[in-house]
Structure formats: structure tokens, C-alpha cells
């Protein structure tokens, strides 16, 4: 069961037109689409959506279209691109920290081996001793 004012839809038309941007205080040009949704009260309904941030072709199915005719007469699509970008950034940061940690460990072993003519197990023991004993 879908929550209230949330519908599935499909884009049936995309066009470029001017709209009023209240934050900029001027008219801007943007891509708008028409989505066909099925409501319980009115049956099939066509609602406008703002799609300039999305590279969507006609016929794209949209899983969540928020529509409330009492508040506004357009639909809103959640920004999946922003969520995907946040995931990639966190993944890249994790990977960088992992590679940096491996580099630090190997570099510490190299410096230890230069100072002390030991073997690699001694090097790892030295690093563990440094971490626990200071």
C-alpha cells in the first residue's frame, strides 16, 4: 500500500518552457515533463513535473510521484542522482583511506628495516608494539 499522495507514473511528454524562479527573481528556462498517474479519486490524471536535473526519456517509469492538488498542482520526483553521488563520494573516500593506510604500513616497515636489519615479521611486531605501547 502506497502512502497518501505518492503514486507511480510514466512520463508521456517532455518540453522546454519558461518558469518563474522565486529565489533568482527572474524567469528561467527548464525541462518539464507530463506524467500520467492513476489516482483513486480522479482516475488517470496528467501532472507536470520539473525534470531539468534528470536525463529522462519519454516513457520512463517513475516509482514515486508526490502529488497533492490541494497544496500544489505539480509532481515532485526524489533526486536519485544526488543520493548516488553521495554514495560514490563516500566509497571513494573509504578507498583512499584504505590505500593510505596500506601505504603508511608499508612505509613504516621500510623505515624500520633500514634502521634495523630484521625480517618482515619483526617489522610487523615492531608496528604492533608501537601501537600498543606508544
Query: What CATH number does residue 68 fall under?
Result: 2.40.50
Regarding whether 86 and 57 lie in a shared domain, the answer is no
> Which pLDDT tens digit goes with each residue over 33-65?
788 887 777 778 777 777 765 566 777 777 777
Regarding whether 30 and 65 lie in a shared domain, the answer is yes
Question: pTM score, two decimals?
Answer: 0.41
* pLDDT at res. 28: 86
* pLDDT at res. 95: 92
Regions in the chain scoring below 50 on pLDDT: 1-2, 134
- Residue 50: C-alpha distances to residues 30, 47, 54, 80 (Å): 7, 10, 9, 14
Domains in the chain: how many in total? 2
Regarding whether 72 and 14 lie in a shared domain, the answer is yes
Regarding whether 103 and 71 lie in a shared domain, the answer is no
Whether residue 58 is contained in a domain is answered as yes
Whether residue 1 is contained in a domain is answered as no
* pLDDT at res. 61: 75
Regarding whether 123 and 62 lie in a shared domain, the answer is no
Range of the domain at 108: 82-133
Amino acid at each position: 500500500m502506497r502512502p497518501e499522495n505518492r503514486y507511480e507514473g510514466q512520463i508521456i511528454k517532455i518540453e522546454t518552457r519558461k518558469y518563474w524562479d522565486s529565489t533568482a527573481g527572474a524567469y528561467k528556462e527548464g525541462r518539464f515533463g507530463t506524467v500520467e498517474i492513476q489516482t483513486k479519486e480522479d482516475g488517470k490524471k496528467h501532472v507536470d513535473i520539473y525534470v531539468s536535473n534528470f536525463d529522462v526519456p519519454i516513457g520512463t517509469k517513475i516509482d514515486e510521484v508526490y502529488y497533492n492538488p490541494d497544496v500544489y498542482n505539480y509532481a515532485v520526483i526524489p533526486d536519485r542522482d544526488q543520493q548516488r553521488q553521495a554514495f560514490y563520494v563516500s566509497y571513494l573516500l573509504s578507498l583512499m583511506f584504505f590505500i593510505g593506510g596500506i601505504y603508511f604500513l608499508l612505509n613504516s616497515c621500510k623505515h624500520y628495516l633500514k634502521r634495523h636489519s630484521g625480517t618482515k615479521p619483526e617489522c610487523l611486531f615492531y608496528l604492533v608494539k608501537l601501537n600498543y605501547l606508544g
